[in-house]
Structure formats: structure tokens, C-alpha cells
Amino acid sequence: MDLVKIKQLLEKYDNAETSLAEEALLKQYFSQKKVATHLEVYKPIFEYFEHTRHQKFTKAIQLKPQKKKAIYKWISIAAMLFVMVAVYTKSNSNPKITTIAQLPENDQKTYNKTKEIFSLIASKLEQSSKPLNALNLISNNLNKGVQKLSYVNQFSITTQKFFKK
């Protein structure tokens, strides 16, 4: 086979542009005993493909029994039904309450205490985010410094070119 054509096919093969017929030609060429010395690096690739083509997977595949999945599926369905029944009975047992003023006094105190706790958490989160704003400012200034440093680097490269010529 023409060595120039083999080189062209190898270039196409490296770019993943070969057809099956062209790959068959390459396999045929590299299955020969005598191959050009500069192309011997490709020979193990095609020998590997030829060797693995005849291999078969012989190990037995062990499948786990499907009983556990079925059990978990039924357990999850039962749990979901239980939750639905509990929510339905809970929602039907309470009279319709539309405002906080209609809640019992103990529930109103709990609601107000919870509201205070959430507002305290919100204020603490606001206070903890202030240092992050300072870090963002530092980060922005560092980025500006890096940009200015790139201008100095570009100037240095240009002056080196100028003095070399």
C-alpha cells in the first residue's frame, strides 16, 4: 500500500474523520509484519483493537433480588398515605382560623415569640454580611490592581521588543 496514502489516512484517523472502510485499510496495513519504522507507534493501537475484538466477557453477573425495592416501595406508599390522612384529619378538626387574633392566647404568645426570634436572626445575619461587603471591596481593588499590572507587563514586553530590534 502507498505510504503517502497511509499517512493521509492516519492524519484523518487522528482527527476522527475516517470511514469504516478507511479504518479497515489501516487495520490491514498495520496487521502486516513489515511496517514503516516511523509508523510503528500506531501498530500497537490497531493490534489492541484486533485483539480485544475477539474477547468476550465471561464473568457471571450477579443480580440482587428485587424484594427489598418492592418492600421499600410499599413502605413509602404507606408512609405517604399516613401523612395524607394525618394532615386531612388535622385540617378538618380545627375550626377555620383566619387571623392571629382568633388564635388562643398561648398560641399568640408562641407566634409573637417566634416572630421576635426570626427578627433577631435576620438582624444578626445582616450584621454578619457587613464584613463580607468589605471583602468584596478588597477583592474589587485587587482585581483593579491586577489589571493595572497587566498594563505594566504589556509595556515591559513592548519595550523589550523595541530594544531587541
Does residue 11 register a pLDDT over 60?
yes
3-state secondary structure of 145: helix
Q: pLDDT at position 95, please?
A: 60
Split into its structural domains, the chain has a count of 2
Residue 24 shares a structural domain with residue 86? no
Alpha-carbon distances of 72 from 62, 75, 86, rounded to whole Å = 21, 5, 21
pTM, entire model: 0.34
Does residue 38 register a pLDDT over 90?
no
How much is the average pLDDT of 75-98?
79
Residue 79 shares a structural domain with residue 135? yes
d(CA 68, CA 41): 52
Q: pLDDT at position 145, please?
A: 84
Q: In the numeric block, which cell numbers belong to residue 104?
A: 388562643
Dihedral sign of CA atoms 48, 50, 53, 57 in order? negative
d(CA 18, CA 150): 44
61: in domain = no
d(CA 148, CA 127): 33
Residue 75 shares a structural domain with residue 137? yes
Q: Which residue has the higher pLDDT, 132 or 154?
A: 154
d(CA 126, CA 43): 67
160: in domain = no
Q: In the numeric block, which cell numbers belong to residue 140?
A: 474589587
31: in domain = yes
Q: Report the largest interatomic distance among the alpha carbons of the chain, rounded to a whole angstrom.
A: 97
Q: What is the radius of gyration, based on Cα positions, of the chain?
A: 37
Query: In terms of residue numbers, what domain contains 116?
Result: 68-142
Q: Which class for 29: exposed (0-12), middle (13-18), buried (19 or more C-beta within 10 A)?
A: buried
Does residue 103 register a pLDDT over 60?
yes
Residue 80 shares a structural domain with residue 45? no
45: in domain = yes
Task: Count Cα neighbours of 15 within 13 Å in the Cβ-side half-sphere.
Answer: 7
Please write the tens of the pLDDT for every residue from 62-80: 777 666 666 778 888 889 9
33: in domain = yes
Residue 43 shares a structural domain with residue 79? no
Q: pLDDT at position 68, please?
A: 63
Residue 45 shares a structural domain with residue 74? no
In this prediction, residue 113 has a pLDDT band, given cuts at 50, 70 and 90, of very high
Please write the tens of the pLDDT for every residue from 12-36: 888 888 898 988 888 888 888 888 8
